[in-house]
Amino acid sequence: MTNNSIWWKSEFEIEDINGIEFIVQIKGGERIDYDPLNYAIPNKRPDIPSGQIEIAPHIALSRIDPDSKEEILRFVNVWGLLGLRDTAIYGNKETIINIFNNHNLELNYPSTEELYNNNKRRGGERKREPLIVIQEAVRTFQEIVQNISLYHEDEGLIKGIRSYKQQIEFKKDVIRREDVTNQTYKGAKQKEARELFNKDTQSFITFESLNRMLSDVHPHVFADTKNHSISKGWRFKSLIAAIYLRVALDLEEDKKIIHCKWRKCNKLFIPNRPDNQHCSDACKDNEKTDRANQRKWLKEAIEQYNTHPTNKIEEAFNSLIQEGVSGRVKILGAIGKKLR
């Protein structure tokens, strides 16, 4: 039996209050409780990419476009508010002032309590979150998850650094390696060595950020006197903390979060099977069509520019695909320019 904290969801909308956009609960909206840590990857992947939003809150949060108000609203309407008020970072007034300043806005609320609560609404409907703070939290989360997916393959980095002493040692080591790199290596070798320690530093920073967010959760044990057993679970006061915890638990359970292989999607998801490389049937179909088109366009290009060597045409073609150029007319035109 699990004994995790629960979160709640409802229906939300965007409301402009004194020049600041907030996500607020729709009046009279129903409240539904759920366990944000409990999820399973369905045996069949979704038909369309947006189906991934329904699978789990951490998957949804890694996929939405933080610049799109509609996608943020869609997220909260599926999983609820992030609970930012009750986090060490976003419940901190200094953090909020900085976020507001970056948007040339002044924080006209005496405390974060008043920012995150609308006293004009009745008890259960008071909770609200400013859109710009949600967007900031989403960007930070996505950066961390992207980096984790990058470093997931590297065993040593996942093990992390256990003590404060090890942290200091690590920092010294990075500085020492940076000096050695600059003095010992030149040219390509220097570049290679730099990339190596940059990867270490990046992963260190990533896991430091993850751990900072995990400070908002803790395990909880209680005795079940009736059944003479011990029950344990996780305690958290916000959805965002539960989401970061889920990311950490997935790492431990070796659930891999990967990018969808379809280049125009490229969004994160957790595959149901190791050989699944696409987040939805639609993405797989799109890639198949795209590959067929590419073969057709390359054939056409070779015919059209037959005065040029085939390998040069292929080279130009591949580099254009890499750049993300698509469409028959665009590709054929761009190849012509490259060959000139």
| 233 neighbors 38 (Cβ within 8 angstroms) | no
Q: Which of 134, 144, 145, 265 binds Zn ion (CB under 5 A)?
A: 265
Identify which range of 41-49, 66-74, 198-206, 323-331 contacts Zn ion by CB under 5 A: 41-49
The CB-of-295 to Zn ion minimum distance in angstroms stands at 22
| 301 neighbors 332 (Cβ within 8 angstroms) | yes
- For Zn ion, give the closer residue by CB, 59 or 99: 59
Give the dihedral of Cα atoms 29, 107, 90, 129; nearest 10 deg: 10
Q: Could you tell me which residues are beta bridge partners of residue 128?
A: 24
Count of CB atoms within 10 A of residue 104's CB?
Answer: 6
Compute the distance between CA of residue 247 and CA of residue 93 in angstroms, rounded to an integer.
26
- For Zn ion, give the closer residue by CB, 3 or 286: 286
Q: What is the phi/psi pair of residue 336, to 5°?
A: -55, -45
Q: Which of 283, 301, 313, 331 binds Zn ion (CB under 5 A)?
A: 283
213 binds Zn ion (CB under 5 A): no
The CB-of-30 to Zn ion minimum distance in angstroms stands at 32
Compute the distance between CA of residue 328 and CA of residue 301 in angstroms, rounded to an integer.
10
56 binds Zn ion (CB under 5 A): no
Strand ranges for the chain from DSSP E: 7-9, 12-17, 20-25, 32-34, 128-130, 218-224, 229-235, 258-259, 268-269
60 binds Zn ion (CB under 5 A): no
Compute the distance between CA of residue 310 and CA of residue 318 in angstroms, rounded to an integer.
12
Identify which range of 27-35, 113-121, 262-270, 294-302 contacts Zn ion by CB under 5 A: 262-270
Instruction: Give me 47's structure tokens.
Output: 């038909």
Q: Which of 260, 268, 331, 334 binds Zn ion (CB under 5 A)?
A: 260
The CB-of-258 to Zn ion minimum distance in angstroms stands at 11
Compute the distance between CA of residue 93 and CA of residue 46 in angstroms, rounded to an integer.
40
Identify which range of 46-54, 115-123, 174-182, 285-293 contacts Zn ion by CB under 5 A: 46-54
Count of CB atoms within 10 A of residue 175's CB?
Answer: 11
The CB-of-162 to Zn ion minimum distance in angstroms stands at 37
- For Zn ion, give the closer residue by CB, 63 or 128: 63
133 binds Zn ion (CB under 5 A): no
Residue linked to tokens 């609308």:
118
Q: Which of 37, 243, 268, 279 binds Zn ion (CB under 5 A)?
A: 279
- For Zn ion, give the closer residue by CB, 29 or 271: 271
| 297 neighbors 328 (Cβ within 8 angstroms) | yes
Residue linked to tokens 């607020």:
24
Identify which range of 30-38, 76-84, 183-191, 281-289 contacts Zn ion by CB under 5 A: 281-289
Which residues in this chain contact Zn ion in the complex, by CB under 5 A? 49, 260, 262, 265, 279, 283
